[in-house]
Structure 1
Amino acid sequence: MKLADIFLATLVAVIWGLGFVASRLALDELPPTLMTMMRFAIAAAPCLFLRKPDVSWPLLIAISSTLFLGQFLAQAFGIAHGVPVGLASVIVQSQALFTVALAVIAFGEVPTRMQVIGISIAAIGLLMICGTVGYDFSVGAFAVLMISPVVFAIGNLLLRRARDVPMFDLFAWLCLAAAVPLLALTLITDGPSAAAHALLNMSLIGVVSILTIGAVSTSIAYWLWGRLLRDYTAAQVVPFALLVPFVGAAASSIVFGERFGPLRLAGMIVVVAGIAIMLLSKRPQAVPNIA
């Protein structure tokens, strides 16, 4: 990879890690549904100037409902109900584990031996984290958060079907497809008056946080990530995502003073180690056909 692109990949990981902190700050002032809706409404603004990419509406909605709406709404609910930001950033990145597992079911892809080892190690880490649930946040909050990596993985597999389209255009329209149902859900669950009151009474920190996760963490960062995946192999780009939980955990410890007990900290480290083994392992080369 070019030095400039290595910098961009690192920058995206840092932006996503800090995005967890910004989400927590925004959730201090907005309910989860409204915050998630605003995130995608801001990120969907470029749709005013961009035509819809050559992707069918059913596929566009399916990708958006999993990769964006489901993933980030589950994140917001989990964090809003007490799951520490640093832990949330680790749990979300376990999507790599579910992506490999679901690819076996959906496409019959056989994982390598190292990927199986990585999955096993990451699963052990998740079980260690499960052993700490119920002390400082509820089992329900953890269960909702676990929806995030699962639907994230489904979205990754669906995204494979949207080929040869401009990444920025695609992600902008995916955000629009997520913002519309979230607006309806917000009006139903929170009510128009409560939603308007929350938005009109946001502090400067809340406004900056929601603009950051909408315009920077969602729109710009996903566009840069898609551009890198277009120019390089996934094996070169995806390992940079391993920086996200480290940035998220470090930033949350500084901003919110979060501390983790020995078992939870060990579980987080084991999960990241398992993901690293999965992402850094070499995939088997295809056997050439012999005429």
Structure 2
Amino acid sequence: DGSVSLTGVLLVLVGAASWSVANIINKKASTKDVFGFLVWSSAFAPIPLFALDYAVNGSAGYTALVSQVNTTAVLSILFQVYPNTLFAYWIWNSLLKTYPVSTVAPLSLLVPIFGMLGSVVVFNESVPVSKVLAVVLIVLGLAVGLYGQRIFNAMFARPVRTSM
């Protein structure tokens, strides 16, 4: 219905700040083996996540897991772990290693666009005009953010006079 809670907004802001800090840590680490760095940095995340889940929900989720695990769930987890997390973050961290964070980070704005494209391809969803407008605004925002100064300079550059 479009309503949001203060807790939800705060969690989104904490997530964005965490994403930024993680990008800076990856950049400052100057690691040679980006994939190994990713695997080892991901090895410790499940421990606090399981502890947080247990603190919030108790053991209900773990007992339900045993009765609800099936092939679809296992394949979904494997997809989330391998191509979605390891491969995608390996590419992302490789970009951070090569380029400045200010150049790479705005590309994360493309995530909703690929999400919409995926829903069209996989689920045959329609794309209303409002979503097309949102995609156009995102791409224009990226173009201005990444290339705005170059475009401005090219449009308003004064011709150089050569003396004879």
Cα RMSD over matched residues? Answer: 3.4
**Residue in 1 aligned with 2:154?**
none
**Residue in 1 aligned with 2:118?**
251
Relative to structure 1, is the Cα distance of residues 269 and 199 closer, same or farther in structure 2, using a 3 angstrom cutoff?
farther
Rounded Cα–Cα distance in structure 2 between residues aligned with 1:155 and 1:189: 25
**Residue in 1 aligned with 2:82?**
215
Rounded Cα–Cα distance in structure 1 between residues aligned with 2:135 and 2:66: 35
Q: Secondary structure at the match of 2:29?
A: coil
**Residue in 1 aligned with 2:34?**
167
Relative to structure 1, is the Cα distance of residues 241 and 170 closer, same or farther in structure 2, using a 3 angstrom cutoff?
same
> Retained in 1: the 8 A contact 2:120–2:127?
no
- Structure 1, unaligned stretches of length 5 or more? 1-134, 284-291
Q: Which has the higher contact order (CA 8 A, sep 6+)?
A: 1
**Residue in 2 aligned with 1:186?**
53
**Residue in 2 aligned with 1:233?**
99
TM-score using structure 2 length: 0.65
Rounded Cα–Cα distance in structure 1 between residues aligned with 2:64 and 2:79: 21
> Retained in 1: the 8 A contact 2:31–2:37?
no
**Residues 1:266 and 2:133 aligned together:** yes
**What is the number of residues matched between the two proteins?**
146
Q: Secondary structure at the match of 2:30?
A: coil
Q: Is 164-173 or 175-184 further displaced after alignment?
A: 164-173
TM-score using structure 1 length: 0.41
Pair member with larger Rg: 2
What amino acid maps onto 2:76 in structure 1? S
Rounded Cα–Cα distance in structure 2 between residues aligned with 1:193 and 1:242: 36
> Retained in 1: the 8 A contact 2:35–2:90?
yes
**Residue in 2 aligned with 1:148?**
15
